[in-house]
Amino acid sequence: MTPVPSRERYDLAVVGGGVHGATVALFCARAGLRTILFERGSLCREASGVNAGTLTMQMTRVALIPYALQAHAMWASAPEWLGHDVGVVVCDGLSLAFTEGEAELLTYRAGKRREAGAPIDLVGPARALEIEPGLSERVLVAGHCKVDGFANAYLTGLAYRAALIEAGVTLCEQVPVAGAVPDGGGYELDTAAGTVRARRLVLAGGVWLEEMAAWLGLRLPIKVLINQLAVTERIAPVMRTVVGIASGLLSLKQYPHGTVVIGGGWQGRGDRVQGGVELVPDSLIGNMRLACHAIPALRRSRLARAWAGLEAETRDALPAAGPIPGFPDAWICGSVHSGYTSGPFIAKRLADRILERGEPDPLFPIDRLLAPEAGAAPSAPVAEAPLS
Ligand SMILES: Cc1cc2nc3c(=O)[nH]c(=O)nc-3n(C[C@H](O)[C@H](O)[C@H](O)COP(=O)(O)OP(=O)(O)OC[C@H]3O[C@@H](n4cnc5c(N)ncnc54)[C@H](O)[C@@H]3O)c2cc1C
């Protein structure tokens, strides 16, 4: 456990060392705030380190597209602002339709995302095969986006750890926080390494944001998805783009060293409170069948490994990012579907707010998400539009 200099009062305490918390801490520390970051495990070893690394607009909620485009540009230039490599590859992305129903869904979704600024065109089978020669010839139509790509998610923690240390952040890994309460113009944190005080507080707990909000008496329901992923052995090139399908149940890309990561939100089992995850073989088989349907050459490859991780989702699948109502100088950041793609930019904007820099951006305030029994006004029901 990292020793914590607990007598000091920090300018900012961040709880949760995923991509959201780590990015907020990084930018605030670089701007001169004395920043301490608590992570109960290792940095970016939960969702931010076990995800599929896909950086795509075609799976991003419409309202998040403008942020995700900026975040994509950040990932593409990670060595410049993060200072360390996360293995980002920028390439074309295709979202496929094999049936009339999928084609309709794809057309609708591509249109909505285009309106929001994502450069997505619809292309026919011949053009899709030119863009991705590895594709099945059974494709009817495809959404084509040139702003796509992927990162090597397992490098995220290594890159952020080096950047945070260089920025002077007091990085406390293996130090769980059990609570945080207001304390005379700041916050007092109950950590496994003792009590720590900070003037400002950011809660960035991913799926555990619900438990963190409860420290302040707020009920912020967070849904947990248990996403399964698999990776093949190293194989000769079979694809050069990021491939998905209209339903969202597939994401595929081949890394430069030859492995293919296969995902698409197929569900395993797990429990955020008890801990631990378990793969569901039927889900794995379904996912692999779909992958081989899209890229037939995958049938000749063997799986090397499969795993699962916990992904947070708010009621409208948009981020929880903004001030905590009723608690001055306290913010929440994270818990968004596909949050690896958009995370760095959302978190950087939150850091700008904390630092009172630039035009204030309302981001995605949590008022809409708080459960009424917490004393907050009931928010309007969200149309859970699967098409956006
Ligand atoms: C299998 C999988 C595949 C995914 N694929 C993609 C993808 O391809 N593209 C994409 O854009 N998104 C993807 N996502 C989603 C994306 O990974 C997440 O949205 C994003 O990483 C969340 O970042 P975060 O910082 O909010 O949360 P996390 O990375 O989960 O970080 C939260 C941190 O808080 C820490 N913490 C919790 N409680 C405490 C406490 N009490 N004290 C101290 N620390 C605490 C945790 O240990 C954790 O490290 C995927 C997710 C999963 C699980």
Chain-centroid distance, C-alpha 321 = 13
Residue 147 CA to ligand 1 center (angstroms) comes to 23
What's the pLDDT at 4?
65
Handedness of CA 215, 185, 327, 311 (dihedral sign): negative
| Cα separation, 53 vs 261, whole angstroms | 9
Structural contact between residues 148 and 56, judged by C-beta atoms closer than 8 angstroms:
yes
What's the pLDDT at 377?
45
- What residue owns the CA closest to ligand 1's atom 3? 51
Closest atom of ligand 1 to 53 CA is 8
| Cα separation, 188 vs 201, whole angstroms | 9
Residues with CB under 6 A from ligand 1: 15-21, 38-41, 46-48, 50-54, 176-177, 204-206, 208, 227, 229, 251, 263, 309-311, 334-336, 338-341, 343
Closest atom of ligand 1 to 229 CA is 1
Ligand 1 mutation target, pool 61, 86, 208, 341, most atoms within 8 A of CB: 208
CB under 8 Å to 318, separation ≥6 — which residues? 61, 63, 64, 336, 337, 364
Ligand 1 mutation target, pool 40, 42, 50, 51, most atoms within 8 A of CB: 51
Residue 118 CA to ligand 1 center (angstroms) comes to 24
Residue 265 CA to ligand 1 center (angstroms) comes to 14
Ligand 1 mutation target, pool 2, 36, 46, 220, most atoms within 8 A of CB: 46
Which of 127-156 are b and which e, b meaning 16 or more Cβ less than 10 Å from the residue's Cβ?
A: ebbebbebbbeebbbbbbbbbbbbbbbebb
Task: Give the single-character DSSP code of 381.
Answer: P
Handedness of CA 371, 377, 383, 388 (dihedral sign): negative
| Cα separation, 128 vs 221, whole angstroms | 41
How do residues 299-337 score in pLDDT, each as one tens digit?
A: 999 999 999 999 999 999 999 999 999 999 999 999 778
Give the DSSP H/E element, type plus range, for residue 244: strand 242-245
How do residues 9-36 score in pLDDT, each as one tens digit?
A: 999 999 999 999 999 999 999 999 999 9
How do residues 118-159 score in pLDDT, each as one tens digit?
A: 999 999 999 999 999 999 999 999 999 999 999 999 999 999
Structural contact between residues 149 and 55, judged by C-beta atoms closer than 8 angstroms:
yes
Residue 130 CA to ligand 1 center (angstroms) comes to 35
- What residue owns the CA closest to ligand 1's atom 2? 51
Question: Confidence class of residue 5 from pLDDT cuts 50, 70 and 90?
Answer: low
pLDDT at 373 over 70: no
- What residue owns the CA closest to ligand 1's atom 19? 339
Residue 311 CA to ligand 1 center (angstroms) comes to 6
How do residues 238-284 score in pLDDT, each as one tens digit?
A: 999 999 999 999 999 999 999 999 999 999 999 999 999 999 999 99
Question: pTM for the whole thing?
Answer: 0.95
For 201-214, give the secondary structure using H, E and C: EEECCHHHHHHHHH
Burial class of residue 354 in the structure, from the number of CB atoms within 10 Å of its CB (0-12 exposed, 13-18 middle, 19+ buried): buried
How do residues 69-100 score in pLDDT, each as one tens digit?
A: 999 999 999 999 999 999 999 999 999 999 99
Closest atom of ligand 1 to 54 CA is 8
What's the pLDDT at 385?
39
What's the pLDDT at 162?
98
Residue 47 CA to ligand 1 center (angstroms) comes to 3
Closest atom of ligand 1 to 251 CA is 8
Residue 150 CA to ligand 1 center (angstroms) comes to 16
